[in-house]
Amino acid sequence: MTASIDAHALPRPEQFSAEEWSARVQLAAAYRVFHHLGWTELIYNHISLRLPGPQTFFLINPFGLHYSEVTASNLLKIDLDGNIIGRADYPFNPAGFTPHATIHANIPGAHCVMHTHTTAGMAVACLEDGLSMSNFYSAQLYGKVAYHDFEGITVYPDEGPRLLRSIGDKPAVILRNHGLLAWGDGVPRAFAVLWLLQRACEIQLATLSMGKPRMVREPIQRQCTADSLQFNPKFGAGQDVFDALTRQIDRIDPGYRR
Ligand SMILES: [Zn+2]
């Protein structure tokens, strides 16, 4: 039974440094967490993580694998020019490389970038007025959500500067007509932001199916965002949540640590 494996005892392949292996395991866990939450779109969408070091290399999923097949060792390491470093059995998806590389290269501290096409996220991205500040979760994202207009499939580098202008310093982005994106200084922070946005979109979708949303007053939005445990280091700031989810994934199938 795979779940009985001592997940932490799996050896590190010798071609990876300890730092790179640790990043690989954490990112592979994130892919499995997304799979568990249903935040997947066949073999599409991406989560990328910058590796420590002076040069900008980042890890991203091999194009062709489902999130449930991503492991620490099959993640692709690529540079900002799109060169794959080391062994690769799969290519990367250019529609993922273009925006992720742009963000990793240009936003200081954007070490992890996550992008989803969930139904609720896309539904809100397709609404003229976007995210409604009408629920517990959106109220925790006051001043944190940017919008970027749809320009088609994200394979053209010239969209990069416009994407960066749209994002500014906001950690959550609604890609209009397209989906959600979040970034952070690491996997846990990016996950915390994306989770809030995803839940806000799910509640908005449910609310709009019943009637007119009741708005949260702006001072309350500000207070909710200031008080949000998702951003408070005293309460884990996403780390505790991600650790708990990683333990859950380890109980289901620690094979991502290979
Ligand atoms: Zn997309």
As a three-state string, the secondary structure of 203-244 is: HHHHHHHHCCCCCCCHHHHHHHHHHCHHHCHHHCCCHHHHHH
pLDDT for 236 equals 74
Cα(218) to centroid of ligand 1, in Å? Answer: 31
pLDDT for 184 equals 96
Cα(175) to centroid of ligand 1, in Å? Answer: 8
pLDDT for 4 equals 47
Binned at pLDDT 50, 70 and 90, residue 122 comes out as very high
Count the helices and strands in the chain (H runs, E runs).
7, 8
pLDDT for 3 equals 45
Cα(180) to centroid of ligand 1, in Å? Answer: 8
Cα(51) to centroid of ligand 1, in Å? Answer: 23
State the chain's mean pLDDT as an integer: 94
Cα(95) to centroid of ligand 1, in Å? Answer: 7
If you average pLDDT over residues 127-141, what whole number do you get? 98
In whole angstroms, how far apart are CA 15 and each of 18, 21, 160?
Answer: 10, 9, 33
Cα(116) to centroid of ligand 1, in Å? Answer: 6
Q: Is the pLDDT of residue 137 over 50?
A: yes
Task: Give dist(CA 17, CA 6) in Å, integer.
Answer: 21
What is the reported pTM?
Answer: 0.95
| 254 and 72 Cβ atoms separated by less than 8 Å | no
Q: Is the pLDDT of residue 5 over 60?
A: no
Binned at pLDDT 50, 70 and 90, residue 10 comes out as confident
199-253: pLDDT as tens digits: 999 999 999 999 999 999 999 999 999 998 887 777 777 899 999 999 999 999 9
pLDDT for 116 equals 98
Strands (E), 101-167: 112-116, 145-148
